[in-house]
Amino acid sequence: MRREASLVIKAHDAMDQAWQLLMEANAESAQPGEVACAAGCAACCSYLVDAISSEAVLIAVCVERGDPKYKRAVMERLLDWEHEFLRWLQRHPVPSDGQKDHAHDLWRGAWQIRRLACPFLDMDDYTCSIYADRPATCRGHHACYVPAEILAERPVSQPPDGCFTSVEDIRSGVLTPIWMINAHVGEIFSKMLADTLDAASVEYSGHLLPLMVLNVGRAAYGWPKPNPRKNRAKPPRITVARKRPGGDSGPHP
């Protein structure tokens, strides 16, 4: 586990350096985009986030060996989230392999409209409690205010309330648009991590972040197993997103 965690940390460091280069190139471009993501906005923390087992190892180790009070609180949040998701999954099965891509995105959107918070989100100040160890999916995700020059050239849709997915969008079969400097950076970061682990001959698998961390914790530390008969608290709901300076809403993750 120590070796896996070390490899993930190195890959994450490389991602942070790549992000810095992307921001430098953006600043020098003719139409630079302004990244809206910042502490205090947590709209994207209601998304279904994919992570790989090696990233979950790093997070599970930090939870297990960290502050006991934090561990107890996060454990309850993880179990609450798992319980709610498994109940929801019975009514919203994952699309079959032949229906992936858009149908799969809409399936994720059907979860996102509920705005249930990630178990690792600090609900006191809407910051990520595992920010330094957040997975590649989170590191690559970003949203920008659409530059005025681009808006002048062509209409670009911006969600009216942060980056929250709307019920109307899902019903109409579309996804809430988020303007990005580079829409593929998340895929690039995920591949960077996969290449790092492949080069070291480390086997890994992928799953949703909370479930993956629970799986690792159960295997390594004997964390509690799911109990469908036990009544659990509903995960907290995210209700606000950071606004564009001046009062107008802009797309925020």
- Of the pLDDT bands very low, low, confident and very high (cuts 50, 70, 90), residue 169 is confident
| 3-state percent helix, strand, coil for the chain, nearest multiple of 5 | 50, 5, 45
**For residue 154, which amino acid is it?**
R
pLDDT at 249 over 70: no
- Which tens digits make up the pLDDT trace of 115-136? 999 999 999 989 999 999 999 9
pLDDT at 102 over 70: yes
The residue ranking higher by pLDDT, 246 or 243, is: 243
| For range 133-143, the mean pLDDT | 93
**For residue 157, which amino acid is it?**
S
pLDDT at 150 over 80: no
pLDDT value of position 82: 97
| For range 20-38, the mean pLDDT | 88
Alpha-carbon torsion, ordered 139, 145, 150, 155, to 10 deg: 110
Look-up: residue for tokens 């939870």? 63
pLDDT at 36 over 90: no
| For range 74-83, the mean pLDDT | 97
- Of the pLDDT bands very low, low, confident and very high (cuts 50, 70, 90), residue 162 is low
φ and ψ of 34, to 5 deg: -100, 115
pLDDT value of position 58: 95
pLDDT value of position 157: 61
Alpha-carbon torsion, ordered 116, 33, 19, 166, to 10 deg: 20
**Whole-number Å distance between alpha carbons of 233 and 135:** 26
Average pLDDT along the chain: 87
Alpha-carbon torsion, ordered 159, 82, 87, 205, to 10 deg: 80
